[in-house]
Amino acid sequence: MSDAVGHAVPQTDLTEMTACPQCDWLHVIGDVPDGMRARCVRCQTVLLAPRRDAAVTIVALAAAALVLMIVAISFPFLNIAASGLSSSASVLDAAMSFALASGRMAPLSVIVAALIIVLPVARLAGLIYALGPLAVGNKARPYAAFVFRLSMRLRPWAMAEIFIIGVAVALVKVASLATVGFGPAFWAFVGLVILVAAKDMVLCERSMWRALEQAR
């Protein structure tokens, strides 16, 4: 017995389809040459923007950001001088002083340390772990996909740049009461924010997923 409607409908494997993140239109994206962009046919959102050596650039920027992070944590962040007395503190000192001030402030120190130190470091280290082998043309490491997904998910929670804005606002208030100077760690933090922004601009998540899949 044959089917009354006998024509074969071309079936596309759902795993090969890409939904536009803005309008959900489904696309089958073929090979996109390096430097070209695939855009949504309906709303023109960029779907794929592979770049040659993107993994190398991302790993290099992440490694540089990690070095700046070490400087940002360990060197003095601010010097404050008033009435002949001066004091300088690092970010770690600030987080620790919350913990020592009183028991109720202890959770705050944990949150501050996690959001401005631990999470950004974990993200950068995760990117280097997952994309490092791709940058040198090796096979992907075990759990590379898991680590890459995790470092993408942590992105909204890594708040080094928001910390910088908070410090700038606080300094405007304090500047009338005391002489405030920036330590090396402050400039390291500023450099860190710029490097992380540059890395996020280069990083096309879908292209990296494709590269990770091919390197498996």
Which residues here bind Zn ion, judged by CB under 5 A? Answer: 20, 22-23, 25, 40, 42-43, 45
CB 137 within 8 A of CB 71: no
Do the bridges between strand 38-39 and strand 26-28 make them parallel or antiparallel, or are there none, so unpaired?
unpaired
Q: Which is nearer to Zn ion, 45 or 86 (CB)?
A: 45
Q: Which is nearer to Zn ion, 18 or 79 (CB)?
A: 18
Q: Taking the complex as a whole, how short is the minimal distance between the CB of residue 21 and Zn ion, in angstroms?
A: 8
Compute the distance between CA of residue 57 and CA of residue 124 in angstroms, rounded to an integer: 13
* Per-residue tokens: 59: 């790993």
Q: Which is nearer to Zn ion, 38 or 58 (CB)?
A: 38
* Per-residue tokens: 153: 């998910």
Q: Which stretches within the chain are classed as H helix?
A: 54-74, 91-101, 106-113, 119-135, 144-153, 160-174, 184-202, 205-214
Q: Which is nearer to Zn ion, 21 or 107 (CB)?
A: 21
CB 178 within 8 A of CB 80: yes
Q: Which is nearer to Zn ion, 49 or 95 (CB)?
A: 49
Compute the distance between CA of residue 20 and CA of residue 58 in angstroms, rounded to an integer: 24
Q: Taking the complex as a whole, how short is the minimal distance between the CB of residue 155 and Zn ion, in angstroms?
A: 22
CB 62 within 8 A of CB 128: yes
Q: Taking the complex as a whole, how short is the minimal distance between the CB of residue 20 and Zn ion, in angstroms?
A: 3
Q: Taking the complex as a whole, how short is the minimal distance between the CB of residue 201 and Zn ion, in angstroms?
A: 21
Nearest to 189 by CA among 92, 87, 54, 81: 92
Q: Taking the complex as a whole, how short is the minimal distance between the CB of residue 39 and Zn ion, in angstroms?
A: 8
Q: Taking the complex as a whole, how short is the minimal distance between the CB of residue 24 and Zn ion, in angstroms?
A: 7
Q: Which is nearer to Zn ion, 25 or 209 (CB)?
A: 25
